[in-house]
Amino acid sequence: MSESRGNAPAPEPTEGLAGLFWPVSAMFGTQAVTVIVFLTVPVMATEIAPAFGAEAKDIGVFMSIVFAFAMMLSAASGSLIRRWGAIRSIQIGMSFSAICLLLVLSASLPLLFLAAALVGIGYGPNTPSGAHVLARVTPPRARAFVFSLKQSGAPLGGLIAGLLIPAMVVAVGWQGAIGVSVAIALIAVIALQPLRSTLDDDRDPFAPIGFASPWDALRKLLTNVPLRRLTVVAFCLASIQAIVMTFLMIILVQEVGLGFQLAGAVFAASQAAGVVLRIIMGWFADRALGAKPALVALGIGSSAAFVMLTQLGPGSSVALAAALSIAVGAMSFGWNGVFLAEVVHLAGPDDVGTATGGSLFFIYAGVVLGPIVMSGLVTLSGGFSLPIVGVAIVTTLASLNLLRPHAHSATSRND
């Protein structure tokens, strides 16, 4: 389906890279800001749990609820983008998420979970809209790198949240920290406006808005062998990424015994490592490895780093805690851009928003299930070690499955 207004053809991707600066910068920035918004609550879970009459790991379920509702809205993103344009879709979503985050100020656990649902609804269109913008302006030879650069905004947002939110909690209280996150998001919405006339020129104001069927997306995925195998690996990696974002602060504070602000700094360092590796893996996927080998390497590497995290305990040094946190942060955040670039490659330029939204339905499922399953297994097993090892084994097996010859030949036929 066309993403253009009327019968006008979609613009050709930019041949050089000079014209990418503002589109990539804008999408990079919005990715970072949306992560700051939905990470605000998980980052300060250990500090706010008493006010809500809950344990920190229960507050961690906030992340799962966010992505459960983002998963639903991602399926509708194609029609939203066609109707309003990608930039306007991002602006509406960020504004909605920021305002709904204010419900957390109630110190009510039911309203906190409602806030998570509404923040997720606002987050849903973000990644499909960003993919739509970048697919229009990026030459195929640079696609994995550019998408990885854009997606590196996510760990950058985590880095900022890890440094900023604990500092704000100490300085102005947890309520003030929420206010800071809301203000950042609304400023970003305003900053996007100058780009709308250029980047939303393909919108169709009369296009209908509708929800794509998740079951139809599932059927298409199951019949597409290369995309199915890639998505299984991405599902596992998304689960690890969500678990790290949700529980690393809790592990550092409760299991290792680090101070709240020091744990925030270590968390920020893990996110910074994710920024760097995400960009590096995008470059290697374009220039040397290809998408599948890059995802295999990241799947096995994430699994190994995740298991190493179980070695942390009360006697662990700060240096060891930081090193393992950085390792798991880097490896578990390096895959997103490579995966999204491959989805764009398989979908073609005219169906990017819809295809990305459909694939994100399944990726977000990993983000939803990861923290929930981890929280339940931690309760049953009495610790993080066994659940982490289990997730790592499944991820390794899914990654190795990409090396089967049939996956290669299927990918070649789709090329």
DSSP output for 336-347: HHHHHHHHHHHH
Helix (H) or strand (E) holding 327: helix 318-332
CA dihedral 327→331→332→333, nearest 10 degrees, is 110
Structurally, the chain folds into a number of domains equal to: 1
Give residue-wise pLDDT tens across range 288-319: 777 788 889 999 999 999 899 888 888 889 99
Q: State the CATH number of the domain containing residue 407.
A: 1.20.1250.20
Q: Enumerate residue ranges in the chain where pLDDT < 50.
A: 1-12, 14-15, 407-415
pLDDT, position 242:
86
Task: Kindly report, residue by residue over 34-84, the tens digit of the pLDDT.
Answer: 999 999 998 998 899 999 988 887 777 888 899 889 877 776 777 888 899
Q: How far is it, in rounded angstroms, from Cα 332 to Cα 277? A: 9
What is the C-alpha to C-alpha distance for residues 215 and 213, in angstroms, rounded to an integer?
5
* Secondary structure (DSSP) of 269-322: HHHHHHHHHHHHHHHHHHHTS-HHHHHHHHHHHHHHHHHHGGG--TT--HHHHH
What local confidence, expressed as pLDDT, does residue 352 receive?
59
Q: Is residue 8 part of a domain?
A: no
DSSP 8-state code for residue 9:
P
Closest CA to 61 of 376, 322, 385, 404: 376
Q: Is residue 317 part of a domain?
A: yes
| Amino acid identity, position 203 | R
Residue 138 and residue 22: Cα distance in Å, rounded? 12
Q: What does the alpha-carbon distance between residue 194 and residue 8 come to, in Å, rounded to a whole number?
A: 23
Asked if residue 303 is part of any domain, the answer here is yes
Handedness of CA 176, 179, 184, 185 (dihedral sign): positive
Taking the chain, what is the end-to-end CA distance rounded to the nearest angstrom? 20
| Whether pTM exceeds 0.75 | no
Exposure letters 16-38 (e unless 16+ CB within 10 A, then b) = eeeebeebbebbbbbbbbbbbbb
Nearest to 362 by CA among 218, 154, 246, 148: 218
Residue 407 lies in a domain: yes
The per-residue pLDDT for 58 is: 78
Contacts of 99 (CB under 8 A, 6+ apart): 182
Within a domain: 404: yes
Q: Which domain holds residue 324?
A: 18-201+211-414
Question: What pLDDT, on a 0 to 100 scale, did the predictor assign at position 13?
Answer: 52
In this structure, is residue 170 part of a structural domain?
yes
Q: What is the structure's pLDDT at 357? A: 63
> DSSP assignment, residue 15?
S
Three-state SS string across 366-397, please? HHHHHHHHHHHHHHHHCCCHHHHHHHHHHHHH
Instruction: Report the pLDDT value the prediction gives residue 113, as an integer from 0 to 100.
Output: 94
Residue 281 lies in a domain: yes
Contacts of 60 by beta carbon, 8 Å cutoff, 6+ apart: 42, 45, 246, 247, 250, 371, 375
Q: Is residue 11 part of a domain?
A: no
Position 413 scores a pLDDT of 39
